[in-house]
Chain A
Amino acid sequence: GENVEQHPSTLSVQEGDSAVIKCTYSDSASNYFPWYKQELGKRPQLIIDIRSNVGEKKDQRIAVTLNKTAKHFSLHITETQPEDSAVYFCAASPGGSYIPTFGRGTSLIVHP
């Protein structure tokens, strides 16, 4: 089955800095890569996703890049704000099964 590794487990930045979270996956059949943000005690919420036919996608301050050859994908957050503080999860989903496998999460702390 699919295996998703996520790094770092904790990321601490100053407000205004950029943050980068990296994930790798094992199943070359995976073709859909969502990112979720989870605040304490809340549900994971989709913030951005990318499909395997695209190398990069941006939405305001967040962007995701995908390297299919290396089986890497990354989340980039620019101009971080305290409200970006949360746990972020990457996931990979093979097209046939539609079942996302999640990474272990990155706790992002943005200091004012």
Chain B
Amino acid sequence: GAGVSQTPSNKVTEKGKYVELRCDPISGHTALYWYRQSLGQGPEFLIYFQGTGAADDSGLPNDRFFAVRPEGSVSTLKIQRTERGDSAVYLCASSRGDSSGNTIYFGEGSWLTVV
């Protein structure tokens, strides 16, 4: 596609519920990133995929957060037992993922509100 696409753009959920956020990266990009951005803060790293595998998941805050990328393209970020503190914009980004450059391109984000 022309850019990184994320759905839903907005999600309001009740505390304790399960949510899934989807990311469709730029075609041909092997690297995919999830970041979280709270109001007035910079993007905070969550997880990085190279192809189908999670090359670095050190930014996931706890075991309620999980992400998959089964076919090396679309990725889903899954949050179990949501808490109010999970409210943020979840940004997905992709890049070519090679040593020639690492410009990452962001999607518009999924605004998650936990009430």
Contacts and interface: CB of A to CB of B under 8 A. Distances in A.
Interface of A: 1, 4, 6, 32, 34, 36, 42-46, 49, 89, 93, 95, 97-105
Contacts of A101: 45
Nearest to B45: A99
B41 interface: yes
A104 B42 contact: yes
Q: Which bracket fits the contact residues of B? A: 20 to 34
Interface in B71-110: 91, 95, 97, 99, 101-109
The residue among A95, A102, A103, A104 with the most chain B CB atoms within 10 A of its own CB is A102
Interface of B: 4, 31, 33, 35, 40-45, 48, 56, 58, 91, 95, 97, 99, 101-109
6 contacts: A43-B106, A43-B107, A97-B56, A102-B35, A102-B42, A102-B44
A100 B108 contact: no
Contact of A98 (B35, B97, B106, B109): B97
Nearest to B48: A99
A34 B106 CA distance: 13
Contacts of B45: 99-101
A105 B41 contact: yes
